[in-house]
Amino acid sequence: MQDSSPLTRPAGASIGETEHAIKLIKDFFQLNLASELNLSRVTAPLFVPAGTGINDDLNGVERPVSFPVKALGDQRVEVVHSLAKWKRLALADYGFAPGFGLYTDMNAIRADEELDATHSLYVDQWDWEKVLTDGERTLETLYKTVRRIYAAMKRLEFHLHDRYPALPIELPEDIRFVHSQEALNRYPELTPRQREDALAAEYGAVFLVGIGGQLSNGQAHDGRAADYDDWSSPNEEGYQGLNGDIIVWNPTLGRALELSSMGIRVSPEALERQLSLAGQEGRRQLYFHRRLLAGELPACLGGGIGQSRLCMHFLHKAHIGEIQVGLWPQAMRRDCAARGIQLL
């Protein structure tokens, strides 16, 4: 397996070719991401103490994998769902200045995940976070950051095409910004996933703004925990939400694929408001929430970028199991084998 060997069969490449390309993608992209956003790499935990509010609660219903630690008197710890809140603690404790931040390799287990071509029990992301001034908690800051991340993705796409000519350049030059309320107004008869498909098919790449806040139909586009992204503050466009998802059109799947979730984090005021909206006022007493409400944590912006999904998209794979080793239902394995999809 040589560095210069062409990847002549994007979807049907050998495992050796694919593994080499995965490493190339991860090495290249993380360096470009760090350069675009002024990020330093840090190490991160695989598990955190239960009952502290540090773990990501996702939609608030997913059960974390937990276990007792003998050496700590059987104190329970939880395998992370993501590092959304741990990163903010690290920014404060490590003393990062405004304009700078951190990134890390995040490895999580989401035992309640519905398994399909793009969702697995094991989640690997580049989790990143950077410090803002209070005056930078704006939609303009969010959009500028999205464009920088998208620029790193475009640079990766060209680098892969240069190394492996069979991999095409498909992403549009610019990413479009659409609020989830605008998407609902445009496609009132479609489900949230169908709206994403329609937008991605039209634009090629879209940042869907405002994930978690209630829309005019009384529903949120998708769930967001109440204690990290700010999805309830009004923005410059007249809608609620200072967060969103980077979504691209994936021609291999024939539908939209989310590559990143990110947002400006809650201020103490936004935390109070969102905990009330979610009926989670009792979380104010948890370690993370006490520190945030006491003003000990900086204003910041952060998110996660799926490593396996990024590889899956740019290598034209039809299943995330072609990128990472996982556990899959036997029916899914048989179906993939019948279609020539080789799961690791």
Cα-only R_g, the chain: 20
Using one digit for the tens of pLDDT, what is the confidence trace for 246-260?
999 999 999 999 999
**Structural tokens at position 315:** 């290598």
Residue 176, strand partner residues: 206
Handedness of CA 191, 192, 193, 194 (dihedral sign): positive
Length of the chain: 344
Of the residues 232, 258, 260, 322, only one is catalytic, namely 258
Check pLDDT > 80 for residue 11.
Answer: no
Q: Could you write out the DSSP letters of every residue in 84-147?
A: TTHHHHHHHHHTPPTT-EEEEEEEEE-TT---SSS--SEEEEEEEEEE--GGG-SHHHHHHHHH
- Its pTM stands at 0.93
pLDDT of residue 3: 41
* 155 given a catalytic annotation: no
Query: Using one digit for the tens of pLDDT, what is the confidence trace for 28-67?
Result: 999 999 999 999 999 999 999 999 989 888 776 788 899 9
The rounded mean pLDDT for the chain is 93
Is the alpha carbon torsion for 251, 252, 254, 258 positive or negative? Answer: negative
- Split at pLDDT 50, 70, 90, the class of 2 is very low
Closest CA to 256 of 221, 225, 226, 228: 221
For the chain, give every domain's residue range.
Answer: 15-338
- Considering the candidates 240, 261, 267, 274, report the single residue annotated as catalytic: 261
* Dihedral sign (CA 86, 125, 197, 116): negative
Residue appearing with tokens 């109440």: 226
Q: Determine how many CB atoms are found less than 10 A away from the CB of residue 133.
A: 11
The catalytic residue among 56, 57, 78, 129 is 56
If one compares 160 and 11, the residue with the highest pLDDT of the two is 160
Kindly provide the residue ranges of all beta strands, DSSP E only, lying in the chain, ordered along the sequence: 39-41, 47-49, 66-69, 75-79, 101-109, 122-131, 176-179, 205-209, 243-250, 255-264, 300-306
Q: What is the pLDDT of residue 4?
A: 42
| Interatomic CA distance for residues 83 and 325, integer angstroms | 22
pLDDT at 210 over 80: yes
Average pLDDT score over residue span 165-192: 96
| pLDDT band per the 50, 70, 90 thresholds, residue 5 | very low
Tens of pLDDT along 279-306?
Answer: 999 999 999 999 999 999 999 999 999 9
Q: Is it true that domain 15-338 has CATH number 3.30.930.10? A: yes
Indicate if 3 belongs to the active site.
no
pLDDT of residue 10: 56
Tokens of 70: 């003998």
CA-nearest of 93, 104, 92, 85 to 131 is 92
Token output for 58: 């996702």
Single out the catalytic residue among 57, 78, 82, 110: 110
The sign one gets for the Cα dihedral 116, 117, 118, 123 is positive
Query: Which pLDDT band holds residue 7 (cuts at 50, 70, 90)?
Result: low
Cβ(249)–Cβ(200) below 8 Å: yes
Phi, psi of 6 (to 5 degrees): -70, 145
Bridge pairing between strands 101-109 and 39-41: parallel
* Cα of 5 vs its chain's centroid, Å: 31
Q: How far apart, in whole angstroms, are the C-alpha atoms of residue 106 and residue 278? A: 27
> What value does the mean pLDDT take over residues 4-27?
75
pLDDT of residue 86: 96
Which of 120, 125, 274, 324 is flagged as catalytic? 125
Report the distance separating Cα 90 and Cα 94, nearest Å.
Answer: 6
Whether 156 contacts 32, CB under 8 Å: yes
Both tokens of residue 53?
Answer: 């509010």
Active-site residue, from 127, 129, 196, 245: 245
For the four alpha carbons of 276, 279, 284 and 286, in that order, the dihedral sign comes to negative
**Active site includes 125?**
yes
